Amino acid sequence: MKTKIKVKKAAAKRFRLTGSGKIRRRRAYASHILTKKAAKRKRRLSQWTLVAPADEKRVRRMLGI
């Protein structure tokens, strides 16, 4: 009997799939010590971005995709 691959729950909370199947992630450095960061930088950090192609295979394996 073939067993299912367990999803890494920590990864499932951090990554989302786009409609076209790419993987999105949040940007780092946006959680604290925000007073010294410029408004433009904080706006950019609040946006989602795509996972790098070098890491995509590893992330897909963690998500069980």
Q: At 34, which CATH number?
A: 4.10.410.60
Q: Is the pTM of the predicted complex or chain greater than 0.85?
A: no
Is the CB of residue 11 less than 8 Å from the CB of residue 63? yes
**Dihedral over Cα of 28, 29, 31, 37: its sign:** negative
pLDDT along the chain (65 residues), means of 10: 89 96 97 96 97 97 93
Question: Is residue 26 one of the residues assigned to a domain?
Answer: yes
Is the CB of residue 45 less than 8 Å from the CB of residue 30? yes
Q: What is the pLDDT of residue 51?
A: 98
Question: Is residue 23 one of the residues assigned to a domain?
Answer: yes
Question: Is residue 1 one of the residues assigned to a domain?
Answer: no
Q: What is the pLDDT of residue 10?
A: 97
Query: Residue 23 sits in which domain range?
Result: 9-63
Q: What is the pLDDT of residue 33?
A: 96
Task: Provide φ and ψ at 57, rounded to 5°.
Answer: -60, -45
Is the CB of residue 49 less than 8 Å from the CB of residue 27? yes
Total count of domains within the chain: 1
Q: What is the pLDDT of residue 17?
A: 96
